[in-house]
Chains A and B, each alone.
Chain A
Amino acid sequence: QKEVEQNSGPLSVPEGAIASLNCTYSDRVSQSFFWYRQYSGKSPELIMSIYSNGDKEDGRFTAQLNKASQYVSLLIRDSQPSDSATYLCAALATNAGKSTFGDGTTLTVKP
């Protein structure tokens, strides 16, 4: 079992819809969680970080964390074609010195 698991996709949604990306992690010592967006041929860009249970909203993005279920999600509202990219989930355990990434979910937003 991978330490951080994501659906590989591809996930396809129509423009204007909500895209829902999911991630589960296995290491309970993970304390910080990140979502990165990576466009083809580019390096990953940090778009959301979340550290405590609940929801965190930033513009069209909402990250949700449930530590009891070891589950992190990213919702993208009013999806745009420019949101088409691969989204990477990461879990960071400070004391263990580990950053673990999922393999990414590819999202396509169709006009």
Chain B
Amino acid sequence: GAVVSQHPSRVICKSGTSVKIECRSLDFQATTMFWYRQFPKQSLMLMATSNEGSKATYEQGVEKDKFLINHASLTLSTLTVTSAHPEDSSFYICSARGLRGAQETQYFGPGTRLLVL
């Protein structure tokens, strides 16, 4: 079954609105969560890394005021795309890393497809 869930799976919104995406690790505590986005036929692009209770670390070129990340607990991280515009349309994927069993591992959520009209 799923180890990391992501909600919503798909969202269509008007330009200028904000969209919140939730990522949950279901059966392990995620000490670190990552947010990626991926355009068609391109590689994953890491947007930011967050540790529980700390501010997220953003990759170069990613606007922290536009992509708000909150990692309030060891099982939940949220990404809010503020004032979304058509160029923000993409496939957003979270990933959770932590100890599952005895070993550290990293799983991806199923992704959220965002379309901004």
Which residues of chain A have a CB within 8 Å of any CB of chain B? Answer: 32, 34, 36, 41-46, 49, 51, 88, 90, 92, 94, 97, 99, 101, 103-104
Binds A, one of B14-22, B62-70, B79-87, B101-109: B101-109
Q: A44, B108: Cβ atoms under 8 Å?
A: yes
Q: How many residues of B contact A (CB 8 A)?
A: 19
Q: B108, A36: Cβ atoms under 8 Å?
A: yes
Q: B34, A99: Cβ atoms under 8 Å?
A: yes
A-B pair number, CB within 8 angstroms: 44
Q: Report whether over half of chain B's contact residues are helix, strand or loop; otherwise say mixed.
A: strand
Cβ contacts under 8 Å, A104 to chain B: 43
Q: Which 4 A-B pairs have the closest CB atoms?
A: A43-B111, A43-B108, A43-B93, A44-B108
25 A-B contacts, Cβ less than 8 Å apart? Answer: A32-B103, A32-B105, A34-B105, A34-B106, A36-B108, A41-B91, A43-B91, A43-B108, A43-B110, A43-B111, A44-B93, A45-B108, A46-B106, A46-B107, A46-B108, A49-B105, A88-B44, A90-B106, A92-B104, A92-B106, A97-B32, A97-B49, A99-B32, A101-B44, A103-B43
Cβ contacts under 8 Å, B108 to chain A: 36, 43-46
Contact of B24 with A by CB under 8 A: no
Contact of B71 with A by CB under 8 A: no
Cβ contacts under 8 Å, A92 to chain B: 97, 104, 106
Cβ contacts under 8 Å, A45 to chain B: 108
A75 CA / B93 CA spacing, docked (Å)? 27
Cβ contacts under 8 Å, A103 to chain B: 43
A79 CA / B107 CA spacing, docked (Å)? 24
Q: A51, B103: Cβ atoms under 8 Å?
A: yes
Cβ contacts under 8 Å, A34 to chain B: 105-106
Cβ contacts under 8 Å, A51 to chain B: 103
Cβ contacts under 8 Å, A41 to chain B: 91
Residue of B nearest to A43 (CB): B111
Q: Chain B's nearest CB lies how many Å from the CB of A52?
A: 10
The A-contacting residues of B in range 42-90, CB under 8 angstroms, are 43-44, 49, 51
